[in-house]
Amino acid sequence: MGEFRRFRQLSMAEIADFGEAFAAAEESGGGRPLSYAEIRRREMAARKALESGDKLLGSGWAETYHRLIQAGWRWRIAAYVAWASTPRKGRWPRTQEELATQVLGLASDRQIAEWRKKYPEIDQVIADLQAEALLDARADVIAALKESASNPSYRHAADRKLYLEMTGDYIPVNKLVAELKRRGLGPDDISAMPEDELRAIVSAARRRLEGEDATD
């Protein structure tokens, strides 16, 4: 069994550090040069429309967006990262192109591609935020798993196996048989074996299993 990945929440300090790294990102976009005044006019209008409208509140990424803004991120990159970290199903806007042109006030999503190329950390932040979202449901999922694994019905066998894998108490039969063979023992030999020796065999099988997983 491989080690179950442990997720953690990003601290505000980490988020702020990432935001500082992107502080010099270009935000104009478009196919023709724009004046500084025109760039800022479009930017201010797009930001006002986003933050004063109702769609952001129901988008599913408003909270993440505001966290990034509070940490000092430039609003367009914050909006993109918050949007990209949400599930695709039911995402608003539906596509990256729509986000760029209808929300961020850009002429196309080409600028987003340039951000990601210039700052590969953006994709890492998105991945971290996606993993962080799993924490919100972790307690409920584990509680449901425990309840299901405790049910003696055969229908819950898969959940029992998963639960015992997570606690380290499940060892595949083939691994245990392999350990017996290494010791020159057969299944019949364990019937009269003292409990402490049986525990030692099980522990050895578990260590070998963990060692194999660590090299995968």
Residues 118 and 180 in one domain: no
- Of 130, 162, 185, which residue is a domain's last? 130
Establish whether the linkage from the previous residue to 93 is cis, with ω within 30° of 0: yes
Residue 32 lies in a domain: yes
Note the pLDDT tens digit of each residue in 45-88: 999 999 998 889 888 899 999 999 998 888 999 999 999 999 88
Indicate the burial class of 179 (C-beta count within 10 angstroms; 0-12, 13-18, 19 or more): buried
Note the pLDDT tens digit of each residue in 128-152: 888 876 665 666 666 777 788 788 8
Token pair for residue 83? Answer: 């949007």
Q: What average pLDDT does range 161-166 have in this prediction?
A: 68
Q: What is the pTM of this model?
A: 0.56
Residue 149 lies in a domain: no
Which residue type, as a one-letter code, is found at position 121? E
Residue 147 lies in a domain: no
Residues 176 and 121 in one domain: no
Residues 113 and 186 in one domain: no
Nearest to 171 by CA among 211, 215, 203, 214: 203
Residues 17 and 116 in one domain: yes
Residue 200 lies in a domain: yes
The count of domains in the chain is 2
Establish whether the linkage from the previous residue to 120 is cis, with ω within 30° of 0: no
Residues 175 and 114 in one domain: no
Residue 139 lies in a domain: no
CA gyration radius, the chain: 26
pLDDT of residue 1: 39
Which residue type, as a one-letter code, is found at position 25? A
Residues 73 and 125 in one domain: yes
- Of 66, 100, 130, which residue is a domain's last? 130
Distance separating alpha carbons of residues 60 and 65, to the nearest angstrom = 10
Residues 125 and 36 in one domain: yes
pLDDT of residue 33: 60
Domain ranges, residue 178:
171-214
Residue 153 lies in a domain: no
Max mean pLDDT range (104-113, 132-141, 182-191)? 104-113
Residue 155 lies in a domain: no
Residues 19 and 126 in one domain: yes
Token pair for residue 47? Answer: 């930001």
Residue 136 lies in a domain: no
